[in-house]
Structure 1
Amino acid sequence: MYLLGIDIGTSSIKVSVVDIKTRKRIASAHYPENEAEIISLDKGWAEQSPEEWWNNLQKAVSKLHDLQLFDSKEIKSIGIAYQMHGLVIVDQNKQVLRNSIIWCDSRAVELGEEAFDNIGKDKCLNHLLNSPGNFTASKLAWVKNNEPEIFSKIHKAMLPGDFIAMKLTGQITSSIPALSEGVFWDFENNEISSDVMDYYGLDKNLLPEIKPVFSEHGYLSSESALILSLSPNIPVAYKSGDQPNNALSLNVLKPGEVAATAGTSGVIYGVSDALTYDKQSRVNTFAHVNYDEKNKYTGVLLCINGVGSMYRWAKHNFAPHLSYNELNLLAAKAAIGSAGLMVLPFGNGAERMLNNKYTGAQLLGIDLNVHGKEEIFRAVQEGIAFSFRYGLDILRENGMQPKVIRAGLANLFLSEVFAQTFVDVTGIPVELYENDGSVGAALGGGIGAGIYKNAEEAFINHDVIKTLMPQHTDVYEPIYQEWKNILIKHLNN
């Protein structure tokens, strides 16, 4: 018997089938092969088509069937992970009204800052644990203010994972963690925030029915089952944003445990048992997947928009013919410090950890007689690792002191240069695991469907592939401080 996990990423849709007994992935596929399009109609804007997600999911599942490694009739639950903070709006007929305004879109920053001031900064931080910023609630307010004809047709506003679950089941549901990531949730009053909804002039009925993360969010409809060549009535038993789900997939569930990922965006995500917040809202606190009345576990999230996007940009412009593995080998030929070449990887929208400022990506100190592709690709990886250190220091200011960080052996952590630089510049060991988001979603679906009693049972075969220890911390510290000084100068301009 099997579990199906779906990961609605920014770059592609990934699906995995996991064996219930062994907890191991037996098949996986993704679509598209190259990165999915991000539509940018104006500076700082980022949109994607929800219907394209659905089409890409169909193609990914078709590729999964083509592998002929499992019996689709034996799939017992479906779990969904998805890119966080996006806005999807549908009408009464469940038809999409506009492209999704996705996580890295910064058009609503000003609206969120005005809401922060007018609702009251202390009230926002105590009740929402965040500034409204450019999160989902502010994006919905932007549609109300700028696209009133579209807004008037809205039946439900949801997160990307809610939309995919709707396409699968016909049901529209959400959860407390999902609403908290959209900054719709009042933690003090344990309800949808009246402050946010009233200030923005939003009706609470626009939001979906609330269900636990681990629960049945509907059953696969006959129509969708036929489209996907699956059996009808499979429960969709788990939905989570990608970063809480990544933490789940790494078995990061208890206070003090920390996960990291370096995909399209870069994230450090730590679990806390306190309703904490950063006074400047540079890092953000949301309800974790196991948040409930008894255990108010939250996830403190540091997000860097430009990580994978920076590396992808460098590849496409400097070495489009090389694979990422070849780029990693190329970067390893350059010395630590990239012969003085520095990279600020902040070219994918306003960065929350930089107080919603947009510096643009920077390639600094080019010496035409010294620097080649080796130094460029090492400098990009080092700049990304430095950005993680900058954000980690903010987390440390807020009381998080990780002794080890868990990460999946994927994306930039596949690069020995990046992974070791990350460890050296932060000074924290990293444990690398095989699991990824789609596997975590599959196991989450197993928990939600009652196949596993709890997360501990779901992750009994969760083994470390390898542990990286700091080796060059003293060498990297002055290089990092020079990088930090450059960043601060750009922020102060």
Structure 2
Amino acid sequence: MDKLFGIDFGTGGCKAMVIDTKGKVLASVFREYPSEHKKPGWSEQDPSLWLDALTAAVGGCKEQMEDGFEGLLGLAVTASTHNAVLLDRDGKVIRNCIMWNDQRSGRQSARLREEFGDKIFEKAMAMPSPTWTLPQLMWVKENEEENFRRIHRLMFTKDYIRSFITGDFVTDVVDAQGSLFYDARKKEWSEELCKILGLPMETFPKVVQSKEIVGRVREEAARLTGLPAGLPVIAGCSDTAAEDLSAGAVRQGQIIVKLATAGNVNIVLDDAKPHVKSFTYPYSVEGKWYTVTATNSCASANRWMRDAFYPVEKELFEAQGEDVYLYMNKQAEQIPLGSDGLLFHPYLLGERCPYFNPDARGKFFGVSMMHTKGHFARALLEGVAYSHPLLAVNIS
């Protein structure tokens, strides 16, 4: 039986799935990993945890199939986008990866908008904000000078994982676009934008289309992960671009709503139509574009609720092999619409669309003596839901 293998490294964990060529799921595994929030607005991950999750996910999928990886045709790796993994000359990770939802570079973003905003928007189709690689690296340059000097290569999450598997130094057009160093219309890294931080062009990987085969599983990677040696591996793309494509969005004007770590309302376009209040990327379908509007904290807000409000229940349910989220949902279901006046602003890591305010913070308000944990669980879900109509208005 012919099989296809996809692995996604989302912000909350690694999702791996093997399907046949008709789309039937043959194996599926999820492995959660943490983000580190050392200061308000900060969000980092240790790339070594991604490699641990890769090995666990590959092994888990293989165990679920009687014939293992027999008939496997290829592998694709996707991930949350434009998370820069900084490597030194020995190929070692310099520091934890600053994630797309990290807000520490707010001041750097403001200065970039003031000094280079028009130039950046013309080439990169987005205004500087803390979600992009350029402001994040400016923060590193200004606050971790030695780490910045050590940068020899820059890779993004999926590319770091895939390079571990194949040894390539490649990215795709979607991740390149999210860096603010790439000129998508010319389909090349912009020397002018790279000069803003003084980064050599050689720092950045070769850019290809998402569907291109960029390498094969190395013998060493096969030994460490259990993947078949020699298996073809394609470049892959951002998790959002892959999800939108898998939902069937390929034509002009098709809209997709995504509820993940962040919440998105996206639209597929035949031509790029950049706007300062949205993000425009080349699509995983060559020749198409997609525009994204996003609220920073969606499922991640619910995960925070689980860890902050339900730690005892989480431990008890996990010990029984059950999902504490189902318990949280049941509590929320028992509360009336509107949560008896309890409201939640889901700005736990600042906010992107439509406010673009890295200093925004979450808030429960209207709290009274009658409110229970179930009220807070429901108010959080409602607050996240209320953010999405703003995204739809923004994208229109």
**Conserved in 1, the CA contact under 8 Å of 2:141 and 2:148?**
yes
In structure 2, what is the equivalent of residue 316 of structure 1? 307
Aligned equivalents of 1:268 and 1:140: distance in 2? 27
**Conserved in 1, the CA contact under 8 Å of 2:169 and 2:205?**
yes
**Conserved in 2, the CA contact under 8 Å of 1:27 and 1:69?**
no
Give the counterpart letter for 1:344 in structure 2.
H
Match of 1:236 among 233, 236, 259: 233
Deviation larger for 163-172 or 225-234: 225-234
Give the counterpart letter for 1:266 in structure 2.
G
In structure 2, what is the equivalent of residue 30 of structure 1? 30
In structure 2, what is the equivalent of residue 14 of structure 1? 15
In structure 1, what is the equivalent of residue 120 of structure 2? 124
Deviation larger for 308-317 or 219-228: 308-317
Deviation larger for 1-10 or 267-276: 267-276
Deviation at 1:383, TM superposition (A): 0.8
Count of aligned residue pairs for this structure pair: 384
SS at match of 1:358: coil
Taking structure 2 as the reference length, the TM-score comes to: 0.91
SS at match of 1:239: coil
In structure 2, what is the equivalent of residue 445 of structure 1? none
Deviation larger for 230-239 or 325-334: 325-334
**Conserved in 1, the CA contact under 8 Å of 2:117 and 2:127?**
no
Deviation at 1:351, TM superposition (A): 3.0
**Conserved in 1, the CA contact under 8 Å of 2:346 and 2:362?**
yes
Aligned equivalents of 1:199 and 1:239: distance in 2? 28
**Conserved in 2, the CA contact under 8 Å of 1:334 and 1:378?**
yes
In structure 1, what is the equivalent of residue 332 of structure 2? 331
**Conserved in 2, the CA contact under 8 Å of 1:165 and 1:217?**
no
**Conserved in 1, the CA contact under 8 Å of 2:158 and 2:236?**
yes
Deviation at 1:46, TM superposition (A): 1.2
Match of 1:307 among 298, 307, 310: 298
Match of 1:93 among 90, 100, 104: 90
Is 1:289 matched up with 2:289?
no
Deviation at 1:70, TM superposition (A): 4.1
Relative to structure 1, is the Cα distance of residues 147 and 317 closer, same or farther in structure 2, using a 3 angstrom cutoff? closer
Aligned equivalents of 1:216 and 1:333: distance in 2? 50
**Conserved in 2, the CA contact under 8 Å of 1:115 and 1:199?**
no
Give the counterpart letter for 2:245 in structure 1.
L
Aligned equivalents of 1:191 and 1:60: distance in 2? 34
Please give the per-residue CA displacement for 1:120-174, whole angstroms capped at 9, x wherever unaligned.
43x3333221013220122223323332322233221011011001100011101
In structure 2, what is the equivalent of residue 375 of structure 1? 375
Aligned equivalents of 1:175 and 1:65: distance in 2? 28
Aligned equivalents of 1:366 and 1:148: distance in 2? 45
Match of 2:148 among 145, 151, 158: 151
In structure 2, what is the equivalent of residue 47 of structure 1? 44
Relative to structure 1, is the Cα distance of residues 108 and 357 closer, same or farther in structure 2, using a 3 angstrom cutoff? closer
SS at match of 2:214: coil
Deviation at 1:18, TM superposition (A): 0.9
Relative to structure 1, is the Cα distance of residues 40 and 357 closer, same or farther in structure 2, using a 3 angstrom cutoff? closer
Aligned equivalents of 2:239 and 2:330: distance in 1? 29
Aligned equivalents of 1:147 and 1:366: distance in 2? 41
Deviation at 1:69, TM superposition (A): 4.0
**Conserved in 1, the CA contact under 8 Å of 2:10 and 2:79?**
yes
In structure 2, what is the equivalent of residue 214 of structure 1? 211
Percent identical across equivalent pairs?
25
Aligned equivalents of 2:271 and 2:110: distance in 1? 25
Relative to structure 1, is the Cα distance of residues 120 and 16 closer, same or farther in structure 2, using a 3 angstrom cutoff? closer
Match of 1:78 among 66, 75, 82: 75
Deviation at 1:386, TM superposition (A): 0.3
Deviation at 1:188, TM superposition (A): 4.1
Match of 2:268 among 263, 266, 271: 271
**Conserved in 2, the CA contact under 8 Å of 1:178 and 1:240?**
yes
Give the counterpart letter for 1:282 in structure 2.
K
In structure 2, what is the equivalent of residue 142 of structure 1? 139
**Conserved in 2, the CA contact under 8 Å of 1:165 and 1:172?**
no
Relative to structure 1, is the Cα distance of residues 69 and 10 closer, same or farther in structure 2, using a 3 angstrom cutoff? farther
| Unaligned runs of at least 5 residues, structure 2 | 315-323
**Conserved in 2, the CA contact under 8 Å of 1:282 and 1:352?**
yes
Aligned equivalents of 1:65 and 1:120: distance in 2? 48
Aligned equivalents of 1:174 and 1:140: distance in 2? 18
Which protein, 1 or 2, shows the higher relative CO under an 8 Å CA cutoff with sep ≥ 6? 1
**Conserved in 1, the CA contact under 8 Å of 2:295 and 2:351?**
no
SS at match of 1:348: coil
SS at match of 2:70: helix
**Conserved in 1, the CA contact under 8 Å of 2:297 and 2:349?**
yes
Deviation at 1:350, TM superposition (A): 4.3
**Conserved in 1, the CA contact under 8 Å of 2:280 and 2:289?**
yes
**Conserved in 2, the CA contact under 8 Å of 1:44 and 1:350?**
no
Aligned equivalents of 1:114 and 1:70: distance in 2? 56
Relative to structure 1, is the Cα distance of residues 299 and 70 closer, same or farther in structure 2, using a 3 angstrom cutoff? farther
| Unaligned runs of at least 5 residues, structure 1 | 397-493
In structure 1, what is the equivalent of residue 4 of structure 2? 3
Is 1:133 matched up with 2:129?
yes
Please give the per-residue CA displacement for 1:342-390, whole angstroms capped at 9, x wherever unaligned.
1111112343531224321111111213x22333222111111101112
Give the counterpart letter for 2:349 in structure 1.
N
Please give the per-residue CA displacement for 1:456-484, whole angstroms capped at 9, x wherever unaligned.
xxxxxxxxxxxxxxxxxxxxxxxxxxxxx
Deviation at 1:77, TM superposition (A): 0.4
In structure 1, what is the equivalent of residue 247 of structure 2? 250
Deviation at 1:232, TM superposition (A): 0.7
Correspondence 1:409-448 to 2 at 5 A: none
Match of 1:110 among 104, 107, 110: 107
SS at match of 2:237: strand
Aligned equivalents of 1:63 and 1:125: distance in 2? 43
Taking structure 1 as the reference length, the TM-score comes to: 0.74
**Conserved in 1, the CA contact under 8 Å of 2:218 and 2:230?**
yes
Match of 1:298 among 243, 265, 289: 289
Deviation at 1:190, TM superposition (A): 3.5
